[in-house]
Chains A and B, each alone.
Chain A
Amino acid sequence: MSAKPLPRMQFMLCAGTGCIASGSLDLKTAMERELKKRNLQDEAVVVMTGCNGFCAMGPIMAVYPDGIFYNQVKPEHAPLIVEEHVLKGRVVPQLLFKEEGKDQIPLMKDIGFFGLQRVIVLRNRGLIDAESIDDYIARDGYAALGKVLQEMSPEDVIEEIKKSGLRGRGGGGFPTGLKWEECRKYSSFPKYTVCNGDEGDPGAFMDRSVMEGDPHSVLEGMAISGYAIGAEKGFIYVRAEYPLAIARLQKAIDDAKDYGLLGANILDKGFDFDIEIYPGAGAFVCGESTALMYSIEGKRGMPRIKPPRSAEAGLWNQPTNLNNVETFANINPIILNGSDWFSSIGTEGSKGTKVFALTGAVTNVGLVEVPMGTSLKQLIFDIGGGIPKKRKFKAAQMGGPSGGCIPADMVDVAIDYESLIEAGAMMGSGGVVVMDNSTCMVDTARFFVDFCVDESCGKCIPCREGLKVMLEKLTDIVEGRGEEGDVEFLMELGQHINDTSHCGLGKSAASPVLSTIRYFRHEYDAHIREKHCPALVCPSLIDFVVMEEKCKKCGLCYRNCPSDAIIWEKKQVARIDTTKCTRCRTCIQNCKFGAIR
């Protein structure tokens, strides 16, 4: 211990991809320059952390020991922060987070977004330097690995994970302990444990955040699973679009090897385990377990028929355990706090917490972790801050392109594996796309089918051809060529695709269509029968006519129209010249009174 005084103040600056994009690296430079200028560089330090989850408000910077939370901080704020906060100990009010209708409340724990969450997976977010192994160790990192190697047999570990009730966080929800137990049974060596970091759902960024912000928690979970199943080698499959995650994971692996927490004879306990990163090219299908393993083997990523299951014959036909990033990040707290603690959180069938990427029409876009059983309403309104622009909540798409939508009247549904499937959606990996009343559900379904057509590997016919036919039919409907019977056709075809496709991608690819038909059939009917898009999204199905009784004669449409297609004078109802109109919808987006149909 040196007697050099430690910094008395720490600025925990978010260095997740979101905040880096909004300028946190420039802010770091500016802060450090300013601290140096005032000779305070030893008293206050800037620490780069992983994603805090509050991406909409980035770059965000928490100040400790005060627990003050600044958001949307720009480099030009650095002199002010240093002068006021570091030098004089005064909070800078204009950078504090502000919730509508409330006074400024500076403490992080008092902000609804943070206060209502329960963090297990994200336990270290904002509190550690993502690139410091010592920071991770300081918060009980690798203590679980130490405990396992010192006190527990592989069977004990499996039993503990089974008792905890932890289920796979990648989407399927298979009990993790059972998976490990199955893999342990086979006596063919070598065995492998693989981390699925091929996060591909549109709008999902849970796993990226964990890999970037707390990479060691993934490594530790993998090492423990390796010990439990009898593997000495692990792979992390990360998509190449996540360069920061790859860099931080690689640094974490190197540091862990230096400390002997990976490699030969870990912690001097005779257990060998090594991890290698495999950057994937970003095909959605490679998130499917067997396709992922082919991809690591250097083959084309296509799913194969199961059985044999990967636990018996996975990578290079050897017994292989595959878990998702978030699943691995849960292992350390379960081992340290015990299965009873973990299973006390959540619901009967779904234990622990779940991380969600909250995106779309919601005020607090970001990353949140809540106990299983939290209602969708709490997630969107209490934590997410509700729907912006005074619009109404319409539906939430859960589980990405494989999931389904949950309509507004079911907003009280509890978030757990069973309730969501019952509602026609699924937990998936945790993407939640919130939609307001300006969203067309037919168009949304078409978007997801379009995504799956692009991402289908082409191996089996229902997915490859069936989805194409579905996309054509949906395109017909949104472009005004829909006919009576189309919806029935989509339902039948969708059911066939779900029933007969080969892998998980195909088996669920029609779900967005089936669930939007289930809850928003009237919108399909309006598109087909009335040739009208009720949400005014599909340009072919909008009349572009001003409704005289609703028009307040304000001229906003006139001023914003890029093609001079609006005829308007003061105190006159606007009219649209359809010969000039390009159907760009600018007038609709600008009209405050919903007067254009």
Chain B
Amino acid sequence: MAKISIDDLKKIKERERSKMVLRDGEFRVKITVHMGTCGIAAGARDVMSVFRDLIAAKGTHDVILTNSGCAGLCSKEPMATVELSDQPPVKYVLLDREKAARIFEEHVMGGKAVEDYALARGSETTASG
């Protein structure tokens, strides 16, 4: 391993940040994919993996992805909740890969909720909320 400089220390810190963001709770956006049996059957895992791939592709450090149980509206699965810090969470319904990608682009990165797929604002909070 090469010897490092003070600048390298900062680079390592930056590189490891996404790992730490998960642990210290200082994130900008939290995406929750609802993964009850109903959600999984309807394709929630695809939605989850789209979010994971996009987070990796964009190299964002401040977005965390988590899952929770059935949101109660099984007929509208797969569902996901996107929560920007200091904004009420937005719940999305009947998702698929394409819709997830658009939500990521417009809401998670762009900060503007995608009204076309949204069910409601300020829904109940998850166990981690």
Residues of A within 8 A of B (CB): 1-6, 8-10, 12, 43, 64-68, 86-91, 106, 127, 134-135, 137-140, 142-143, 146, 149-150, 258-261, 265, 267-269
B22 pairs with A88, CB closer than 8 A:
no
Knowing A134-B12, A137-B12, A260-B3 touch, does A87 contact B127 (C-beta < 8 A)? no
B5 pairs with A268, CB closer than 8 A:
yes
A65 pairs with B27, CB closer than 8 A:
yes
Closest 8 pairs (CB-CB, A-B): A260-B3, A89-B67, A138-B16, A89-B68, A66-B128, A5-B56, A5-B52, A258-B1
Number of interface residues of B (CB under 8 A): 46
DSSP majority for the A interface? loop
- Nearest residue (CB) in B for A142 is B9
Residues of B within 8 A of A (CB): 1-6, 9, 12-13, 15-25, 27, 30, 32-37, 40, 48-49, 52-53, 55-57, 59, 64-69, 126-128
- Nearest residue (CB) in B for A135 is B16
Compute the total of residue contacts between A and B using a CB distance below 8 Å. 119
Knowing A137-B9, A260-B3 touch, does A8 contact B19 (C-beta < 8 A)? no
- Nearest residue (CB) in B for A263 is B3
Residue of A3, A140, A259 touching B1 (CB-CB under 8 A): A259
B69 pairs with A88, CB closer than 8 A:
yes
B40 pairs with A267, CB closer than 8 A:
no
Q: In the complex, A269 Cα to B9 Cα: how many Å?
A: 14
A127 pairs with B34, CB closer than 8 A:
no
Residue of A64, A91, A268 touching B127 (CB-CB under 8 A): A91
Q: In the complex, A86 Cα to B45 Cα: how many Å?
A: 12
Contacts of B15 in A (CB 8 A): 1, 134, 138
Contacts of B69 in A (CB 8 A): 88-90
Contacts of B48 in A (CB 8 A): 8
Q: What is the CB-to-nearest-CB distance from B22 to chain A, in angstroms, rounded to a whole number?
A: 5
A267 pairs with B5, CB closer than 8 A:
yes
Query: Beyond the given A91-B127, A137-B9, could you list 20 further A-B residue pairs with CB under 8 A, ordered by the A residue number?
Result: A1-B59, A2-B56, A5-B53, A8-B65, A9-B66, A65-B25, A66-B128, A67-B25, A68-B128, A87-B40, A88-B69, A89-B127, A90-B69, A106-B127, A134-B16, A138-B13, A138-B15, A138-B16, A139-B20, A268-B3
Q: In the complex, A261 Cα to B16 Cα: how many Å?
A: 18
Residue of B1, B19, B36 touching A10 (CB-CB under 8 A): B19
